[in-house]
């Protein structure tokens, strides 16, 4: 089940969504999505660590895709993996 479905069940089962209009439900979901996507200081620290490690790896030639886009893609991939583990 997705995070959105989990939230829906959580709100529906305790009665908060039963009395909501579709507009209110949409806004509730939208605001929750904004909170979920917001970066914290921990996220910035994690990104800094990833970027420092990647820079060393790229300087040593440990990656095939050695351009800036490849560097950014690898950083994003690692960040997403770390976020999923939490």
The Cα–Cα gap between 77 and 42 comes to: 17
What is the DSSP secondary structure assignment for residue 18, as one 8-state letter?
T
Q: What is the mean pLDDT of residues 63-73?
A: 83
pLDDT of residue 1 exceeding 70, the answer is: no
Q: Tell me, what's the pLDDT at 11?
A: 73
d(CA 80, CA 59): 23
Provide the pLDDT for residue 42.
94
User: Model confidence over 9-56: pLDDT tens digits?
Assistant: 777 777 766 777 888 878 888 888 898 889 999 999 999 999 999 999
Higher pLDDT, 56 or 84: 56
State how far the Cα of 12 lies from the Cα of 16, in Å rounded to an integer: 6
Q: What are phi and psi of 40, to 5 degrees?
A: -105, 175
Break the chain into its structural domains and give their ranges.
3-37, 41-85
């Amino acid at each position: 089940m997705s995070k959105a479905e989990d939230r829906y069940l959580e709100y529906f089962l305790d009665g908060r969504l039963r009395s909501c209009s579709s507009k209110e439900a949409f806004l509730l979901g939208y605001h929750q999505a904004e909170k979920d996507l917001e970066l914290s200081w921990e996220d910035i620290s994690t990104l800094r660590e990833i970027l420092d490690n990647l820079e060393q790896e790229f300087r040593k030639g440990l990656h095939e895709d050695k351009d800036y886009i490849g560097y950014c893609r690898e950083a994003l991939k690692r960040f997403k993996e770390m976020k999923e583990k939490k």
